[in-house]
Structure 1
Amino acid sequence: MKKTLLLLFPILLFSCNKDTFNSESAVFTLSGFTDTGCKEGAKAKGTMYHDVRGEYVNYKVKKGDDGGMHIYFDHVNSMFNCGSDKIWVETSKEGNTIRVHEIENSNAANCYCDHDIHFEVGALEKDDYTIMIHKNLHEAYLSEPYAQFTVKVTNDSKGKYTISE
């Protein structure tokens, strides 16, 4: 009996690995969404395509409690109509492409303002992912991406994608 326990102990000890991530049972989700609302002093009259300054996306990758990798996004100075009642984000994943849809429920005021949007997506395997950001109303699902960049998902990777300086 002691020999059996001594032989089984190392097998049991090393078969439990916290670093194991089962991608087949993992669910891709969006969480942690926050929006600053219209930033003070960030309003512009007229067309949406005014001289935007300082729009960028910061991202960082961390391992989640589920064992998968998660990307934390900060979209800084993302422009929306200042008459919007609600702003939200929807995401989808197909293969190694992650689509981010930034959507507003607009009352179509004749001004625009910058928002900072924060959210997290995961669980992901370590790999390279193409991030496509689509803007505004539901029609954005059919449009070309507003911004597109690649994120290398590894332990504690981070970066910045500049949309406009």
Structure 2
Amino acid sequence: MRYLSTAADLQKIAASLHLLDELPEAIIIDDLSSFVDARGAEHAGEKRHRDAVLVKTLSFLHEATAYASENLAFASRFPGGAKRSCHLLVADPAADAPQSMHLMQRWLPLVLMIRGTGPDFILSVLPQALKANRLPAACAVQLCYHLAPYSAITLTDIKPPVLEADATAVAM
């Protein structure tokens, strides 16, 4: 486990993954935007810089995950080896903006969106992710759930899928 503070640190870790004695089965990044945020500036030049840092970071993570998966799969071919791979999980509360969502979808195979403010939330799969992963349209249902402190998650409703035209208007 590593606690990092900048996109450069995250990129260095991803780029040096091949040097580890034992490859990870999961790479988990919490609040990706905090690594690549350009001080919250609204200027187009700084937004372009932020997007470039985001794309570079996601590409490093994608390549690191692919490398680890390939090598874990190779090691599992030996007798007694269980099938293993490396998975990338990225949480980003700021990825709801349509202008950055397409960047996330380019590098992450499945994008789930959680909307709402506690304790009621809606979990949905974006329609573009269904097409990219060749998943049936039935997977696009929205799961509504209630999450109260110190209690279990309660499924409250299942809604129809988000329409293609509405996907860019969805906000977290």
- Which one has the bigger helix percentage? 2
TM over 0.5, shorter chain: no
Q: TM-score, length-normalised on structure 1?
A: 0.25
- Which one has the bigger strand percentage? 1
Q: TM-score, length-normalised on structure 2?
A: 0.24
